[in-house]
Amino acid sequence: RFYSSNYQYVLAFVFAIEEINRNPYLLPNISLGFDLYNALHSEKRTLESCLMWLSGLGKVIPNYSCVREGKSVAVTVGTTWAISAQMGTILELYKYPQLTYGSFDPILSDRSQFPSIYQMAPRNTALALGMVRLMLHFGWTWVGLAISEDMKSIQFLWDLTGEMDKNGICVAFVEMIPIIERAYFSLAWQYHYRIRDSSANVVVIYGDSDSLLGLSFSKWNILMTGKVWITTSQWDFVFSERYSLLDSFHGTLTFSQSHKEIPGFKQFLQGVNPAKYPQDFYLAKLWFLHFNCLLSEIDCGKLESCPPNVSLESLPLHTFDMTMSDGSYYVYNAVHAVAQTLHELLFQLSEMQSPGHGEKPVVHPWQLHSILKRVQFNNSAGDQIILDQQATPVEEYDILNFWNFPDGLGLQVKVGHFVPLAPRDQDFSIHEELIDWAFEFQETPRSLCSKNCGPGFRQSPQEGKAACCFECTPCPEREISNDTDMKQCIKCLDDQYPNSKRDHCLPKVVTFLAYEDPVGMVLACAALSLSILTAVVLGVFVKHRDTPIVKANNRTLSYILLLSLILCFLCPLLFIGQPNTATCILQQMTFGVLFTVAVSTVLAKTVTVVLAFKSTMPGMKMRQWLLSGAPNSIIPLCSLVQVTFGVVWMVIAPPFIDTDTHSEPTLLIMVCNKGSVIMFYIFLGYLGSLAMGSFTLAFLARSLPDTFNEAKFLTFSMLVFCSVWIAFLPVYNSTKGKFMVAVEVFSILASSAGLLVCIFAPKCYFILLKSERNILLGSRSKAKSRQKEAV
């Protein structure tokens, strides 16, 4: 089969030779010549061409040459590593420099095995990275690979899969296409169908054009317009003979090593025709096949009746491409590298000759190696050419898009560029508006194993499947995802909460137990009402201060207790409203000290009752304690202890303003932090111990006989008080936010109301509703006391 892309190598070779021969400053007075041999895709035929050239007879005669003075000094070989390696083994015996124009192959760079081979193509070290950058740009994370089964392709496979793995791109399948003909054709259709039926819409093709990979794809009769192919310029079988957009390879993206246009090459191609090069059989074949020329009856090698003004430019793209390919560029540079080397070598030899020596210096192939290894020059396009692979700069790539229009008007359009050594944000560029995708895609193609997880969802891996195959799981509470395909959701800040879609955070509304809240309003009204009620009770007691019920059990203590209860009822007002540092401190200090005064007053009243009855018993000296007012000293002593605890608390860790961010998902609740929870419970514990002491003492004195004995009322009041605060602990610890404040306020009001009702309600009943009984009982008591005095 005639490959027009390979024929361009021949024309680039001839163009370079003619350009050098026209240059008066390069190899002056010397004209370069050349021989051309066909290297077929066969080891036997390749070696046959090599031996025919060496023998000089047009026959295969190993280790023999009929040419006494060989004029060939170097060989350009290609296009695959196999051809170069086969010829290199033989040509190494004669130390011929061999310049390869195929793609770079690591095997041929082994100087111990191939010391005479020089590769014109730069290393493809950044090709895998460039392809991955292309995949990342379009969001292709599910990609198939069709790779030729040779050493270079396997190395590329390792490089590509490594880069894909580092960037989160998964391999949908890997089809290794055998390079052995029998192995390939036994499985050919399986390869085709597996690639066609894969869910991956993007497939990377890598292999030489002479490999069976190229042959298999070019022979396809299966139409696959639902795939995006990514390949390299070395694999040139995308140029199909289909004259329509319904071509499997329409829209293919090709990575081509970037190089400048060689000046004059296109004009040279436009002027090439069989008349100019009559000895070129392939050129005559092109004209005969595509321009309807006739063979001369007199001279079978001559063409007749050819249309006028036709040239290679008139041929469609799939037949001949006027743009210099990578391989032709390397051929051109190879010829110039040999010319530069010859020029320097001849200069050195001429300097070594004695003056007046008229013979031209003789050049042997082995003499070129020392200079060829270090040759550097700029070609006519201005590109720097270095044959030393260690010093070769990192290659750059153009990204081309293949358009296959009707009537064979194919076109390769540059749509992007990749410069590996450029900064990260400048190394890759692509113009999406210039890309013409395959016919099946109406927009930029997608290649995903799973559908994208939109905002509000995260990727959840599926067991036993690739990382790119996942399920979309909604973000948990207090977390969001504001981008597509996020692996982890992001927590909102403490003062924010996620919206209903969980794709962005909203600021929380600041709130607290305010007077405007229904709960705050009820508690505030209850506190004011109970404080007013307590003040009324105090007024009743003051008005009836001389009655027996008020005078009984120390009315001073009753006044103190009522005053402390008034303040206890007003204390919750410090808990309601927007907290500040002052109120946070006053809340705990006021609550602790006032309740200590109230409970210690109850304890003093209980002690007063006990002492009053004990003093009437014979032999008891309790009356002195009672008359001295010793029970009243209980109040300041107990209060002083609580004040001491409070001072320690304020010094160690005072309460402060805090925000509760967890109780309500959409609210930021301002609360007073206790500062030291231990000191808070010490406060409560001390208060509880006083209450339990009062309860125990009142319980023991409940059966003492007397008309005005209030021990029973004190017992009930302490029972209610202790019950309220015992119930407070579990309820308080199980609530959050401003409801904790509400529970504490309710407990303060309930326990205070228990004291007020249990102790003073019966007395008010007798004072206001049974006043005659109050007087009667008082008169009886006075009469009995007078009788005792008379006796």
CA-based Rg of the chain, rounded to a whole angstrom? 52
Confidence at residue 522, expressed as pLDDT on a 0 to 100 scale: 92
Euclidean distance between CA atoms 765 and 208, whole angstroms: 112
Task: Tell me the percentage of the chain whose pLDDT exceeds 90.
Answer: 22
Confidence at residue 779, expressed as pLDDT on a 0 to 100 scale: 45
Chain-centroid distance of CA 724 in Å reads: 54
Give 35-60 pLDDT, tens digit per residue.
Answer: 888 777 667 777 777 877 777 766 66
In this predicted structure, the answer to whether residue 525 has a pLDDT above a threshold of 90 is yes
Listed in order, the ranges of the chain carrying CATH 3.40.50.2300 are 4-123+325-353+360-386, 126-256+396-434
Confidence at residue 26, expressed as pLDDT on a 0 to 100 scale: 92
User: Which range has the top average pLDDT, 158-167, 548-557, 703-712?
Assistant: 158-167
Give 713-754 pLDDT, tens digit per residue.
Answer: 878 888 888 888 888 888 888 887 778 888 889 988 998 898
Give 97-136 pLDDT, tens digit per residue.
Answer: 999 988 888 888 888 888 899 999 888 888 999 999 999 9
pLDDT mean over 380-399: 82
Long-range contacts of 343-348 (CB under 8 A, 24+ apart): 343/26, 343/27, 344/371, 344/375, 345/371, 346/27, 346/30
Confidence at residue 173, expressed as pLDDT on a 0 to 100 scale: 92
In this predicted structure, the answer to whether residue 421 has a pLDDT above a threshold of 70 is yes
Task: Tell me the three state secondary structure of residue 205.
Answer: strand
Euclidean distance between CA atoms 693 and 696, whole angstroms: 5
Give 322-333 pLDDT, tens digit per residue.
Answer: 888 888 999 999
- 355 C-beta neighbours (distance < 10 Å), count: 4
Give 467-523 pLDDT, tens digit per residue.
Answer: 888 899 999 988 999 888 888 999 988 888 899 889 899 998 888 888 888 888 999
Tokens standing for 591? 């609550």
In 3-state terms the chain splits into helix, strand, coil percentages (rounded to 5) of 45, 15, 40
Give 527-574 pLDDT, tens digit per residue.
Answer: 999 999 999 999 988 888 887 777 766 778 888 888 999 999 998 898
Topology at the third CATH level for domain 126-256+396-434:
Rossmann fold (3.40.50)
Euclidean distance between CA atoms 454 and 456, whole angstroms: 6
Euclidean distance between CA atoms 525 and 515, whole angstroms: 10
Chain-centroid distance of CA 733 in Å reads: 40
CATH of 518-776, one of 1.20.1070.10, 3.30.420.40, 2.60.40.2470, 1.10.150.20: 1.20.1070.10
Tokens standing for 311? 């040239």
Euclidean distance between CA atoms 433 and 444, whole angstroms: 10
pLDDT band at 68 (very low <50, low <70, confident <90, very high): low
Give 574-587 pLDDT, tens digit per residue.
Answer: 888 888 888 888 88
pLDDT mean over 653-666: 84
Confidence at residue 732, expressed as pLDDT on a 0 to 100 scale: 82
Label residue 229 exposed, middle or buried (CB < 10 Å: 0-12, 13-18, 19+): buried
Confidence at residue 788, expressed as pLDDT on a 0 to 100 scale: 42
Q: What end-to-end distance do the CA atoms of the chain give, in Å?
A: 152
pLDDT mean over 290-301: 76
Beta strands 667-673; 509-511: pairing state: parallel
Confidence at residue 526, expressed as pLDDT on a 0 to 100 scale: 92
In this predicted structure, the answer to whether residue 620 has a pLDDT above a threshold of 60 is no
Confidence at residue 163, expressed as pLDDT on a 0 to 100 scale: 94
Topology at the third CATH level for domain 4-123+325-353+360-386:
Rossmann fold (3.40.50)
